[in-house]
Structure 1
Amino acid sequence: MRIRTRLLLLSLAVLLPAIVAAALGIGFVYAEERGINQRNLQETSRAMALAVDRELGTREILLKALASAPSLARGDLATFHEHARVIAEEREASILLSDENGRVLLNSRLPVGTALPALLPTAVQERRDAGPDVTIVSNLYRLPRNPDVPPSFALQVPVPHTARPHLYLAMTTPASQLQALFEQQRLPSDWHATIVDRQGVVVARSSDPAKFVGTHVRPELQDSMAAGEGMHPGMTLAGVASTAFFSRVPRSNWSFLVSVPDAELRRTGLWASALLGGMSLLLLALATLAALAVARRTAQPMEDLRHDAQQLGDGAPVQARSSGLLEVDAVNEALVGASERLRRASADLEHRVAEAVASFEQSQRALLQAQKLEALGRLTGGIAHDFNNVLQTLTTGLHAARLGSDDKVRRLLATCERAVTRGSELARQLMVFGRVQEVRVETFDLAQRLREVQPLLTGALPTDITFTQDVTPGLWPVTADPLQLELALLNLVMNARDAMPHGGRLRLRAGNSVGQSPAQDLPPGDYVAISLQDEGEGMNEEVLARALDPFFTTKSVGRGSGLGLPQAYGFARQSGGALVLRSQVGEGTTVTLVLPRAQVAPQEPAPAAPSGGLRGAGCVLLVEDDPLVRDTVRSGLEVSGFEVQTANDADEALRMLAGGHCVDVVLTDVVMPGSMNGVDLARLLAREHPRLRVVIATGYSDRSIDMPGVRTLAKPYALHQAVAALNEAMAG
């Protein structure tokens, strides 16, 4: 632990009691403010309950005065009805006169003498439970015979000086008239005031009355309201976490609730606590800054020692200094002595390193040939396969030419000539790998050259690396040595292969760059960019800075010579272009060859000159990915009497068989793209189509294929050999 840290911890230990005291004070202030808020809200609910009681009392006084009217005492219901109608319209209410059995004698809204329905049974029962001489306030109700009438409540008083049966005067009022109480109190917008009757039904509410009037409050809140006055934490009907403060309305035994969101309750306490906490943190920060200043001055001699140690590590001389601390000065003296000894040892080490570098360069030259041999071994299988396809095309085409008509002979001979051209290209690519060629600069179609070199590039890759090529239509021609271009691309592909030991994707893209400068040292103009992007490990900045140095490599001994990227860089510079290298650790590497656009059109190749028994019968499904072999073999078999259907790979062949194509025998190649090769296809057909015969044509003489019912045909084969093998397979 550093001295500065120790001093800072010491300061914190001194301040810790003050921090604890401040935290306790903050907690006390928060609790006190919360208690004050709760008491104030309880008083608010009590005052609002009394306001509701006064509103009901006003209606009671009015009813009692009306019940003492002389017209009612002498039984003049017509005069009393007119008096009651005027009062009821002023109050937007209804006044009813009924006896103790609930029979309605008068309704201010209907003419005298109209047949009137009886009171609700609940109103009659409430009167019987309360007694004949008590004013009662009903719960909220709706008229079952008229559901369009809004929810209402009734206040009922006895009529004095009447003999039995007793008469009662009631005023039914819409509950919406109580909403004015909320507007008079001007409660905060996020508070919710609610009037609840004795059954827990909402009579009036300050917000959303149309939605909540007539609904029941939550059961747990109704249980709490049985105490008459108090508070209840929970959820409002709208689903907001709040605390409800309630108080009993004396005249009606209703309850008045004020629901305040919990966040609002905590706000004042939190504000006071935040103020006190901020002051405490400010004092703590000032004390910490003071402690850091003292620690910095105390730790400066130790920082000087660290600087001396860094100078020693960098090989720079260490200066002697005096700090006033005996221990620090002793360490500084030891570092000065070590610096002198290290400088003497460094000179000796440089001499030894020079000798080691010379020996290493000699070893690298020896490894160059080993790298070529190792890459040649990886390419042998793919090139041998392509040569066998060329020979197969020639062999089958020439045999079929003997049996065909003049037009078919000419087409077959043209195919054979294309196969010869392809064989010469394969030989030229082998010369490229061996660097046995002369410098030959020419203007050529770059898109066509990239298509031709693709088999060479894919042959250098293992099966777990996917190679894709994307060439922009209308790609410009370039003027360069085509063999050097292919060698550069091959080197870049092999570098990408070694960077992806566990497989991945390698993308080749080629496109035009109009009027730009793709590289820093190139003038603006028209260029063609060929980029190879891998998903390998990538390079850090140190490796990226030296990647183009000859003989620099990060591969293990025997895995590389460090000449791949330098060769590609030299080719690009000799062609008037540049090489752009971008890489990031974990995200792969992108190498871009930038070549100038050719100023002349590429030379068109000279057109090819026109070219010129065993029988079979049955339907043959030919599975071959090479178009030259596929077209030639198909023509030869058709000339020999077979009906031939073709498929590019095993997946397409399986789809054709599943689609109901009539096939007697399958002739398939071994090496094909797709999810399975020819051997896998033969095994699958043996399981799913046991009556279907299979003939496998292979160019690998060392591959053993021992499957019941499957015949093999070595490539290149003659047409009569293919006809014989197919006939024997169908006969078997």
Structure 2
Amino acid sequence: MSIRTRLLLLVFAVWLPAVIGFGLLARTTYQREEDSARMNVQNIGQSLNFVAERELDKRAVMARTLAGSSALHDGDLRRFREEAAVAVEGSGNWAFLVDRERVLLNTLLPELDLTPRPRPPGAHFVTGEPEVFFAQQAPLLKKPVLGVFAAQRGVQPPQYNVGVSFEPSVMQAILDEHRYPEGSVASIIDQDQHVIARSRDPEKWLGRQATGDIQRRAQAGEDGFAESTTLDGVPSLSYLSKPSRYRWAVIIALPRTALTRAAQRVTLQAMAASGLLLLIGLGMAMYGARRISAPVLALREAASQLGEDAVPPRLSTGVSEADQVSAALHEAGLRSHEATRTLEQRVAEAVQQAGEAQARLLDGQKHEAIGRLTGGLAHDFNNLLQTIQMALQVMDRQVGEGSQRRVLQSALRATAKAAALVRQMLTFGRRQALQPQSVDLGDFVLKTQELTSKAVGARVQLSAHIEPRLPALFVDPTQLELALLNLVFNARDAMPDGGHITLTGRLAEPAETAGLQTGQRYLCIEVADDGPGMDAETQAKAFEPYFTTKPVGTGSGLGLPQVLALARQSGGDARLQSKPGEGTRVSLYLPASEQRAEAPAASAGAPQPSRQLRLLMVEDDPLVASVVLPALQGEGHKVTLCNSADEALQRLLQGQPFDVLFTDVVMPGRMSGLDLVAWCREHLPALPTVVATGYSAQAPDTHAQLLRKPYAIDTLLSALQQAADDKKTPPAAE
């Protein structure tokens, strides 16, 4: 038998198993593609379910927060309505309050409309955890809406339900942001299997209830893949996600026709590959008949090894062409292994980076939500503190020495502490701008030593070690003092039986500040105690706002968040090290200043006698106006009060003469207080301005004097007089 015949038989002998192998490979490939499609659909479904649950969580948190309002507990529905309007402002949501039979208020209605309205029979009322309900036609909007209901907190059984409503378009937007396999359809259903959003014809199917096996499986809380038929009659392989906390689920239906096309494509590819292999084998057989068969068999073996992701060895067959092919196969195997290793490394790095980015995003969202909440609370609370403090100061001026005077002084000190607490909340919420300056750390520690020594008490020993010749810090001194007091208080409270606290100041090592701004020097301030220390779980939550391990009523959970907020807003960082039984060390890294520390300002001498002024006062809060106005009039000033910047503008346009404009920042109407100041700077540059604010998201005008609520009477009088003197305005005519 000739070599050609032997090679031809060998080719057919090799080809037949290869055809079988291609058939098995085609089946395996189809199964792998189907598994990949299943995995892709499952991942999309879980992602959609997570995002939808997160959107519901946002409204549930808002509803639970409002359900714990003191105004609701006191039955002050008008104040509760104001709080609810502030909470939902700009979010696209609206809030309402119901009891078991009536709708008591709704932020969609005018502010003064608090007329109760009857609820439909059998309307939802929750007594436990928040729940989400779908209404095909809302009474006010006359269209489908979703509502998150939360029971009144602190009262059992609850008297009210607080609801936060939004349109199903929010869920439709989540669905529209994702990409789905060709021909598939995705839906979000609620706990009653109503279609809330759908990737195909959403308007047609909104509010329709799922049917058949999908409905049964959703009611039973099942998940996974199963054969089903969509609402529009398409046989599909459908994936049902696990129900979320609110018993919502996601359905993704993949048409069976799409999987059938994939099977046909893989079969054709297998047939084409087997035919190509036969032709190659016949060609090689004809060529090998002219040479020897050994190099051919050797090359075939090398090719098989390469196909199995192995590195074939270099061959020396005596045929140069075969040896060159062998060398090429060897190099290809090496490159393939290197490429595989590099790809695995890059995939691992990408997964790690994605996880870190997701963690940073969630942390930023949490702090942003806290910041918005604290900012809104600060505005209203500072107005209340302004009213209380100003009224107490007016009474303090009128009451002589004695027990009543001491009571008023105690109340004034309490309002000062409340104002400090608001500033602390704004600091960790990043809603209050810092005022950094050069601070000598050694002098600063000496000046605060008496205060910190009294704070630790007799059982705890406090010592400080500050390196000599340190550069100055560039930090807000008030916030730094508060941060150090917070750290000392925490260390003291951790050692009720006594111990030792060490305050250390030194120049930070470059390795410690590697993640901070390059080219910047940093100082490290450390406060360490020898108390019981913390476990890993407590350390992970230590910097979270309102987290505290102290008993109820002894800790607010704002100390360490304020320290971290000060450090990061100043361009530095704060870190905590602790082990159970080994104490705790908090390291505060703050930027060094390139300038010397600022010396204390010299005394200005005796105050200059004030003159009567014509004041244009703009204040929308009637409580604040009720105490500030008589205080100014009592000093002999002529005050014109306006309730809005729009009203004040009309007064100025009428040509009425004034010596000073005194305005709040946040105002109803078209103009804010800062808008009014800007208008005066352009049209009445000779009119001096003083601005007061409890909190404002708009940056204060740097050309106007700024008073932060609550301010004292003397501070206000001094600011007004200084503004008038700086502009050299002629005194008012009597």
The normalised TM-score by structure 2 is 0.34
Higher radius of gyration, 1 or 2: 1
